[in-house]
Structure 1
Amino acid sequence: MSKRQAFLESVCKENVKDFLHFIQLHNKVEPFDVEEVVQEMSRDQKRALWGQLAVLLRDILLELPLDRWEAGVKVKSAANPESLQVSLYTVLVLEDVDTYSALLEIAHMLHGLYVLMFDQVSQEPLQCHIHILFIDWWTKGLKEKEKFGRTAFLVSLQKSLTLKKPGIEIQRVWSLRDVLMSLDYTSEDNRQIIDLLLKCFQHPVFIRHDEGKRFLVYIFSWNVSFIRIIQGTIKDQLAVFSKSTTTHITEIYFRAWKKASGDFVEKIESSCIQDFMQNAIFLHRASPVLSKVRQILSYFHTKKDSHTVDKMLCNLYRPILWTALSVPNFEVRANATWLFTEAFPVHDPDQSSQSLDEEVQEQLDKPYFATLVFIWSE
């Protein structure tokens, strides 16, 4: 009997020890490579394998009382969770086949099991194997990928915010980013995911990680209404953010704005950038947040050599800045003057050269600079 046939016949409750032996040989690399053997199987053999795995998994789950799984207890028995883990490994080598209904049945059983263990998300091998299975399921675009992809995305989000070294999970979140676009923002079923997404904007490690930043930029394109919620979450954290973290946050805003279009770019400009402009004008000068708001706006000011940035700043400052420069309140005038000098000249780059020169001269002739001298002399 060939090893391939022997392996196939071992996938059952009666021969589970032989099955484990094959997996142990695989883990030693030689002389048996499970992935290679499965890839070389015929289509009928693969279908038989998935069917036998489904039966084996069902037998294992039936032997383990439901309350033991719910309690997260490690069961020690002849059919222990280790056999489930190795079953999962063989599932991961799925190739393109016409029919994999038995494999889909396995995925559904594991999903039900995973939901029971969900409150105890951990790095235990059993959970990790199921997690990887669902990631691969989404990546390969298999049937009902939205269901399994959502679970994988949710678990990776949770792990990225709780593990001491979340780098791998942050990378997985980024790789699963398109799952987000398959979710309904208005559905209560996704409330937990929304809460986790907002926590990502509060997590310094996530904010500083390359894939983490790319993902946070991506979130701005999920739903227009969510942008305002993101802005509120970040503003609530500015007081505790370090200068370095604020720099990363600023880059996220800028990249999100550059990538946005249509309603999304308008929302980012009005609910985020212009909101910071208004805060920079009206915050008390003793506020611990003012320096962070100014840091964010200064970053945009340094990008004024870009035509699109210069025009955006002009459009957003015009409705608020000139009025603030002449109000009776001294602090408001002082804040507005700081903005004016930082962003100077505030002009529309689409104007003709003559009109642009006239507008700049008009700003120089107005009493804004006299106000500035007065402020610094105080």
Structure 2
Amino acid sequence: MLKREAFLAAACKENAEDFLRFIQLHNDKTEPFDVEEVVQEMPRDQRDILWARMSLLLQEVLSKLPPQRWDEKKSEGPGNMDVESSLDSVAIVEGVTLVAAQSVQVLQDGETYSALLGIVSVLHDVLVLLPISEAPLLSALHSLCELWWKKGLEEKEKFGRTALYVSLQKCFTLKKLVCRIWNLHEVVLTLDYNSDDNKEITDLLLQCFYHILSQGKRFLVFLFSWNINFIWVIHGTIKNQLEKTVVHIMEIYFRAWKKASGDFLDKIQSICIQDFMQNAILLHRASPVYSKVRQIVSYFHLRKGCHEVDKMLYTLYKPILWKALNAPNSEVRANATLIFTEAFPIHDPDDVKNLDTAVQKQWFLFGSVIMFIGYTFL
């Protein structure tokens, strides 16, 4: 009998022990049995039979011992037959997960897979209920949901959402998952920001800004483009931790601004960048976050000479900086003066006709504020 035919015969609830032996052979790398190879060699009709049998086997196992009882049975101690049943249940679910993953890998265009979808849906529900003690199975089911999303198969949004949720939960302790989160970043675009069902994921996304890693900057920049109302929430989250660090934050804001357009660009400029500008002017220099805010606005000043940056600085500073230079409060004037000297000249690059005149006026003002700086900080 061919290996695939023997494996197909074992894939049913009546021959569960034989099925487990095949899975053990697959996991034992010294043995010449590979589930991936066997599934790949199966013609479509055999894969349909395999999935139908797997579905029945899975339903039988889970009906007798659901995942939420696995830890309960194992804790009853040795010598209990239910403990052995629990271990077999986990092994069978692991085996079905392996077969499902390999089946997804070999799916061909135009191939129907409703039975496979049913299996993966059940396994998805197992993942949601699974106790944390089943870490290897959790990882396998997580990978299966992730694979389903990547393949773009039916109901991919459901499986992608779960894969993203699990990845976000793990990424704060397992930093290697940061790249996997980026691979799932488009899942975010399928989520309804205003739905209470997604509140947990929204909270996890915000937690990412408390654990900024250099490898995760691309994902955090992307989050500015999810929902326009989320920008304000992101900004508030960052400001709340500003006293601790600004590492990577400056670059994240700058890259988010560069990538944005339309209403998203307007919101990032008014809610985020101009807010930092305003705080750089109004904050007391004794404030623990003053130096952090100055670093952020300076990051933008250092990129002057680019048309887009010059235009943005002119647009955002115009309604606040010139008033601050003449403010009654001396500390506000001093803060504004420092900003002006660092960002000088602040001009509209589109107004070429009046550019020279504007710069001339600022040169005159520049001389005055230099004297003021010298007097203030001596």
1:153 counterpart residue number: 164
Give the CA deviation at 1:111: 2.2
- Using the TM superposition, give the Cα deviation of residue 58 of structure 1 relative to its aligned residue in structure 2, in angstroms: 0.8
What SS does the aligned partner of 1:157 have?
A: helix
Distance 1:86 1:172, change over 3 A: same
Matches within 5 A, 1:84-233: 84-94=93-103, 95-96=107-108, 98-117=111-130, 124-161=135-172, 163=173, 165-167=174-176, 169-203=177-211, 207-210=212-215, 212-233=216-237
Deviation at 1:71? 5.9
| Number of residue pairs the alignment of both structures matches | 363
| TM-aligned CA deviation for residue 107 of structure 1 | 1.7
> Who is 2:41 aligned against?
40
Contact 1:325 1:337 in 2 (8 A): yes
Q: Does 1:83 align with 2:115?
A: no
CA distance in 2 between partners of 1:312 and 1:303 (Å):
11
Q: Is the 8 A contact 2:146 2:163 kept in 1?
A: yes
CA contact (8 A) 2:311 2:348 kept: yes
Give the C-alpha shift of residue 121 in structure 1.
Answer: 5.1
* Shift of residue 122, structure 1, vs aligned partner: 6.8
Contact 1:224 1:263 in 2 (8 A): yes
Deviation at 1:36, TM superposition (A): 1.3
- Aligned equivalents of 2:317 and 2:253: distance in 1? 17
Aligned residue for 2:253? 253
The residue type equivalent to 2:121 in the other structure is H
CA deviation vs aligned residue, 1:308-355 (integer Å, no higher than 9, x gap): 111111110111000001101011111111111111111112232x63
Q: Structure 1 residue 265: deviation in Å?
A: 0.7
Q: Secondary structure of the residue that 1:80 maps to in structure 2? A: helix
Corresponding residue SS for 1:350 = coil
Give per-residue Cα distances to partners, 1:270-306, cap 9 Å, x unaligned: 0010000001011111011011111111111111021
Which deviates more, 9-18 or 130-139?
9-18
Partners of 2:289 and 2:39 in 1: CA distance: 59
Quickly say closer, same or farther: Cα 1:82–1:190, change in 2 above 3 A.
Answer: same
TM-score, L = length of structure 2: 0.91
> Which whole-Å CA distance do the structure 1 matches of 2:148 and 2:74 have between them?
27
- In the alignment, structure 2 segments of 5+ residues that lack a partner are 76-82
Indicate the RMSD between aligned Cα atoms, in angstroms.
Answer: 1.9
Decide whether aligned partners of structure 1 residues 304 and 66 sit closer, same or farther in structure 2, where only a CA change above 3 A counts. closer
Amino acid aligned to 2:376: I
Give the Cα separation in 2 of the matches to 1:361 and 1:67.
75
Asked whether the equivalents of residues 69 and 116 of structure 1 are also in contact (C-alpha less than 8 Å), the reply is no
User: What pairs up with 1:293-312 in 2 under 5 angstroms?
Assistant: 293-312=293-312
TM-score by length of 1: 0.91
In 2: Cα distance, 1:108 partner to 1:87 partner: 12
Aligned partner of 1:318 in structure 2 is 318
Shift of 1:66: 6.0
Instruction: Report percent identity of matched pairs.
Output: 56
The gaps in structure 1 that reach 5 residues or longer are none
Partners of 1:260 and 1:73 in 2: CA distance? 53
Q: Matched residues in 2 for 1:216 and 1:65: separation? A: 38
Q: Which amino acid aligns with 1:357?
A: D
Q: Distance in 1 between matches of 2:133 and 2:169?
A: 10
Give 1:20 shift: 2.2
What amino acid sits opposite 2:120 in the alignment? A
Query: Equivalents in 1 of 2:6, 2:125: separation in Å?
Result: 31
Contact kept, 8 Å, 2:274 with 2:317, in 1: the verdict is yes
Deviation at 1:172, TM superposition (A): 1.5
Give deviations 1:215-256, integer Å, cap 9, x for gaps: 101100001111011000000000012xxxx13111111111
